Amino acid sequence: MKEGPDIALIGSLIGDPARANMLGALMSGKALTATELAAEAGITAQTASSHLGKLEAGGLVQKSKQGRHRYFSLADDDVGAVLESLMGLAALKGHTRVRTGPKDPALRRARVCYNHLAGEMGVQMLDSMKQRGFVVEDEDQLELTVKGHQFATGLGINLDALRSTRRPLCKSCLDWSARRSHLAGALGTALLEHFYKTGWADRLEGTRIVTFSKTGETEFARHFKIAEG
């Protein structure tokens, strides 16, 4: 009898095309109803309900109730990180969608990865933080430095509150389009929320695309600059 984690079960849950499409839709970080997820997957509501039951039983999604409606979201950060990594692996191995659309460049530029910033700007943010000594990488683990603490608190981020949660403060996440890492974890989420609150950025309705205003572009470039040479 084989022992250890059952990756075959997780693989089978993610590997079904309809379930994969629903999980992909939930990567926006937004909770969706079974009806909305059925539309994303191109299946009937009854079939979607069956798939969602399996995903919930497997610990990949969670269900919440609000009034008469039931909403589904990814279970936690770990599920989002695995999905983003699988997207990166698929892109690396050439398993991409045949049909591309006008939104693709915008998705590659900046998008939501469950609850943090991904795409070229997400990668730039982490690169800048590493280059300026705000975070250091030790055995694939990211640690916030004293300089990083000062930088984050200077933006008004409550690090004590972030550290009081179960989530890791800093975590790298493989970016599927850039094929490099961007910043995840509680700090990654807090920074994206900061961009929203300050009006630097907003999310394009119904998509994972994050758009930055002119002021936001300027401020982002100032706070997360990359030194050349």
pLDDT in tens, 205-216: 888 999 999 999
What pLDDT, on the 0 to 100 scale, is given for residue 206? 82
Does pLDDT of 1 surpass 70? no
Q: What is the dihedral of CA 61, 24, 178, 201, to 10 degrees?
A: -90
pLDDT in tens, 104-155: 899 999 999 989 999 999 999 999 999 999 999 987 689 999 999 999 999 9
Burial of 154 (0-12, 13-18, 19+ CB in 10 A): exposed
Please name the fold of domain 7-75. Arc Repressor Mutant, subunit A (1.10.10)
Closest CA to 10 of 110, 112, 95, 81: 81
Tokens for 163, please give them: 């550290």
pLDDT, the chain, mean: 91
Q: What is the dihedral of CA 35, 38, 203, 136, to 10 degrees?
A: 120
pLDDT in tens, 173-224: 888 888 889 999 999 999 999 999 999 999 998 889 999 999 999 999 999 9
pTM: 0.82
Instruction: Pinpoint the residues of the chain covered by CATH 1.10.10.10.
Output: 7-75
